[in-house]
A and B are shown apart, each in its own frame.
Chain A
Amino acid sequence: MTPEMKGFLLLSILKMLLVFTFVLVGVALLTLMERKVSAWMQNRRGPNRVGFAGLLQPAADGLKNILKEETFPAQASALLFMLAPAIAFIPALMLSSVIPFAAPFPAEFDFTMGPLGRFVNHGVVPMVVADVPIGFLFVIAISSIGVYGIALAGWSSNSKYSLLGGLRAGAQMISYEVAMGLSLIPVLLLSGNVSFAHIVAEQQKSLWYVLPLTLSFFVFLVSGFAETNRLPFDLPEAESELIAGYHTEYSAMKFSMFFIAEYANMCTVSMMASTLFFGGWDIPFTAWDQTPGVAQTVATSMVFFAKVMGFLFLFMWIRWTLPRFRYDQLMALGWKVLMPLALGYIMVVGLAIYVIETVLGVSSLRAEGGLLFLVNLPLMFGVFRLLDRGAIIGGSRARVAAARVSRAA
């Protein structure tokens, strides 16, 4: 093994430790944040007994879950019942490995460490565990595996509530996977690459993609909520109708796994949204962060963290505001609204990029972004006008039409 390879290995291990510690601790603290935010929104205080301001609450919960009895339904399919939490849990954590969380870090070292030999690294280190050139496709592929965990958990429990929850989860996640994938195509059209590092770099040269691709962002956000089974799309859990859906039969640490998976998925969607639409670790209005340096790495990681936290708060905010959709509303929104919207938007963006780049001959990326934003304004207005009519969710238009038909008859 060459010293350079050893240096790369050392850095990779460090990054892995950093990211996974951060994500796992973060997920634990997110459960506390969820409870705190929900409490504040209901004029309560939230957990404040364990540790300072309740900060040790997740640790206490974890300990409790480890010590609890592992129940096992007599008629459950043993292997799958054990496997399902892991299948839900592992992909959720894997996804955080391909998302760049800070500006590249200049690490120049050349040292010898006892029997391990010499470690060498030159140049900048990308602050991402695996800087895969197909990061985007990796996320789309791996995030779909999570649905197996939930569907299998629902099926293997051999309980009607679990089965219904699992079926709903399967149908919902597959439906919204389509809209989510399609909503991200415009990002690829504009950036011309599927590597996250490249997409971030393109946004630094142009505008944050939330401006030129606003509709994509909204479709992505709504599908993201559905993908993570968060309210208002938490039909697989639906504690009021299905007890707890797919994890009704799970207890102790196995239940915790689903819980952690849900929060890890939230993290991933937040990181995706920040990276694809809010410039990743980019600090706005300055080019200072584009030159590698230690200060830049630290500052950009903070900015990235702030963006992710913003999205996580949005997740919680929505959860404690909106009630659950009805199942037909969910399916109607996914198939009749979001998917056609995303498909149509791909055409619009494709056409707009063609017109701007080829017909008008605009070469500046920033000007192109601005023009696309102008294209977005009337589209946004139209879509929200349509949504505003209540034609999509409530189907009041359908009811009015039915009333008209019955009156005519």
Chain B
Amino acid sequence: MAIGVKVLKRPDREVSYVRATLKGMALTFRHMFEPKVTMQYPEQKSTAEWSISPRWRGTHRMLTDEQGRSKCVACGLCPQICPANCIKLVPGEDEAGNRYPLIYEIDEFRCVFCGYCQEVCPEEAIHVGVHFENAEYSRSRFVYDLERLSSQTHPVSTLWDPADPRGE
């Protein structure tokens, strides 16, 4: 017994092991009949209580215009701002003088999903997506090229807006 420890005489009902045990057993038994909280994941991806946030920053998506061409004008801002240096952009130019990306690749393994590319893009072309199912069978499949980025269909992220911090 340590020196100076004050031991309080507590009433029996507070120190009783038997009563605590019975109480605990009643509690666990009651829980057996309560509604289950498990979400049946592959079939069910959101419930009334839980859905993925619209601000979620997942794998990227490149938006396209009406003719199906990517909106990217190869300005080079996104590889410039990317803190993980995961965007590879080689610009090209057609006869009319429009710039477009010859190569546009994002290494999703290097990406830190900060969303700066979406924020910086003047054409609203590159976006981070509301998406989280990214499994692949090989590492090389995680470098997304322009075609793959353009063909994604998942919703794009609504980034946090300092003017509207609560998203109202």
Give the B-binding residues of A (Cβ under 8 A): 37, 39-45, 317-318, 320-322, 384, 387-390, 392-394, 396, 399-400, 402-403, 406
Contacts and interface: CB of A to CB of B under 8 A. Distances in A.
Given A387-B17, A389-B15, A394-B17, 16 more contacts: A37-B32, A40-B36, A41-B31, A43-B31, A43-B34, A45-B40, A321-B24, A321-B25, A321-B27, A387-B18, A388-B19, A390-B15, A399-B7, A400-B9, A403-B5, A403-B6
B12 interface: yes
Q: Considering the complex of A and B, which 9 residue pairs feature the smallest CB-CB distances, nearest first?
A: A390-B15, A403-B7, A40-B32, A402-B1, A45-B38, A41-B28, A388-B16, A321-B24, A321-B28
B163 interface: no
B34 to A, nearest CB: 5
Contacts of A321: 21, 24-25, 27-28
B135 interface: no
B18 A384 contact: yes
A406 B1 contact: yes
Interface of B: 1, 3, 5-7, 9-10, 12, 15-19, 21, 24-25, 27-29, 31-32, 34-38, 40
Contacts of B1: 399, 402-403, 406
B12 to A, nearest CB: 6
Interface centre among B7, B10, B17, B34 (most CB of A within 10 A): B17
A44 B28 contact: no
**Chain B interface mostly helix, strand, loop or mixed?**
loop
Contact of A317 (B9, B15, B17, B29): B29
Contacts of B18: 384, 387-388
Contacts of A403: 1, 5-7
Nearest to B15: A390
Contact of B17 (A43, A390, A402): A390
Contacts of B36: 40, 43-45
26 contacts: A40-B31, A41-B28, A41-B29, A43-B37, A43-B38, A44-B36, A44-B37, A45-B38, A318-B25, A321-B21, A321-B25, A321-B27, A321-B28, A322-B21, A387-B16, A388-B12, A388-B16, A388-B19, A389-B12, A390-B16, A394-B17, A396-B10, A399-B1, A399-B7, A400-B7, A403-B5
A403 B10 CA distance: 14
Contacts of A390: 12, 15-17
A225 to B, nearest CB: 12
A393 B21 CA distance: 12
A251 to B, nearest CB: 27
A37 B1 CA distance: 41
Contacts of A388: 12, 16-19
A41 B12 contact: no
A121 B19 CA distance: 55
A394 B38 contact: no
A259 to B, nearest CB: 23
Given A43-B34, A321-B28, A403-B7, A394 B21 contact: no
A399 B1 CA distance: 8
Contacts of A392: 17
A393 B31 contact: no
A154 B118 CA distance: 58
A40 B29 CA distance: 9
Contacts of B16: 387-390
Contacts of A318: 25
Contacts of B31: 40-43
A40 B7 CA distance: 39
Contacts of B32: 37, 40-41
A252 to B, nearest CB: 27
A40 B37 CA distance: 10
Contacts of A43: 31, 34-38
A380 to B, nearest CB: 12
B20 to A, nearest CB: 9
A42 B28 CA distance: 8
A40 B35 CA distance: 9
B1 to A, nearest CB: 4
A394 B19 CA distance: 14
A3 B156 CA distance: 82
B49 to A, nearest CB: 13
Nearest to B5: A403
Contact of B15 (A41, A384, A396): A396
Nearest to A45: B38
Contacts of A399: 1, 7
A393 B36 CA distance: 35
B62 to A, nearest CB: 36
B25 A394 contact: no
Contacts of B27: 321
Nearest to A400: B7
A44 B36 CA distance: 5
A394 B15 contact: yes
A167 to B, nearest CB: 26
Nearest to B6: A403
Contacts of B12: 388-390
